[in-house]
Chain A
Amino acid sequence: MAAGHAHPLYRSGDSPVHRLPPEVKIVAALVGVCCVVATPRTAFGVFAGYLALLAGIWVLAELPFGWILRRSVIELPFVALVVLLPFTGEGPRVDVLGLSLSEPGLHGAWNILAKGTLGVLTSLTLAGTTPLRDLLLGLQRLHAPQLVVTIATLMLRYVDVIAAEAQRMRIARISRGHDPRFLWQAGATARGIGALFVRSYERGERVHLAMLSRGWTGTLPQLSDRRTTARQWLTGLVPAAAALGLAVTGWVIA
């Protein structure tokens, strides 16, 4: 339980990428994936370029390739559609290993797979080098709506408490002989969720009163006083500029 300090994808370190202000990293990641998505699908070399760019960042951030690879399996369910495309797609068909596959379908599948993978790798790089607290600070500095930042802050501080409560209730049910295997046994679980909601809501009421008694003014205090320098922005946006250059190259050659 390390609420507010770490999250499962964070890999602590002190590399130049870790030290970069969070808002710079968020903007760079967003620019990067936007470039990837806007790249024409047939610019195969450009996609290799993006991968090389990311690999460069991993070396700089001291993220081992194996670590990235293991975590990138998150993507699998999201690209499940890809498997169907070559079989169900329309248009001219090509023979691959004795299977008749649709050519536009294959292109479409490649498009989603390549861009989806690069997207996940970018997100992993951001999550792996940015602790939770910094991410909230980044959102705050990027002027995300105050309400959203406050909700996200409280949510992240309490999610472990609520999850632990859910876990305790599950253990309590199991130790009283609960063995949910079939649909009609779901009643106890659902009542547990109901109780969890009531407890969360009531905890929210108590948290609000506790915040008031500690001088809550309705706005989240500035999470850090440190200012981001123009130099940090320039350094952080170098990979984003490189991605932009790659995207433009893609448009020119395609």
Chain B
Amino acid sequence: MFLWNLVFVNPITNALIVLNNLVMGNFGVAIILFTLVMRLITMPLTMRQIRSSRALSALQPRVQELQKKYKDPKRRQEETMKLYREAGVNPLGCLLPMLVQFPIWISLYQALRITVGGTPESVVGLSQRLYPWSYIEQAVPLENNFLWMDLGEPDTTWILALIVFASTYVQQRLATPPTTDPRTQSTNQMMLWMMPLMFAFFTLQVPSGLGVYWAMSNIVGVIMYSFVYGPRQINWRTVILPPSAAPAGQQASRRAQPPPEEKERAEQPIEDALPTESKRKKRSRHGRSRGKRKNR
């Protein structure tokens, strides 16, 4: 725990207070700035996660084909993994960047709890976390009021909860890879509503400083998705409307359409759908085998 605090919680707590001083003591703006900085630092990981997810989506039709083709689960698994391997896609590629970000998220939650607690006990506790720099210490006690909220208390107006709900929903819609598998579709559909509802519920329970972080983080996430897919590739109408309200033909299709060339690639035979690098390797392997045959 000591190491955890030393490496994660204390630096984040102090960074938040430095930002608070830079923005003239507005802790809400400091949280927003901190979210932007953290998202910027973890952007390579997030982009990798989005691209992995996107590549997996592009391979979905081929995965479906394999699932239909092979009834034996072991063989099916082998062939699916082979497909991923040949396409240069790691199915865990989406999870790893997310896992790396977890310690940052958790320590940020703890740092926010420490800083926006506001009670005399939490201020005493804060004294044990701050670096002995007068620039930091002069910020205490922190100003907890931001817009209509007390950042140390849950927002009882429900406004923040609604913002968190809407932003989580939109990000979830963009992040969920389309699938033709009915079971996965059903799970995705459930998660699409569950996640925003849960986050909105948590927003009503925890200090609103955390809600501000969630909302801002989601908004930055949506911008990142938009950047990766290209804003014109996203059908915002179907992203915002619930799946049941979207035109029937688009329900199973992706909210964020892959670029046409990727779509074409996904509909082509496996070899043709592979990324250039994988194809080059494959060709060179074929070339070697052909050469061997030739030599024989």
Asked whether A and B interact, the reply is no
Residues of B within 8 A of A (CB): none
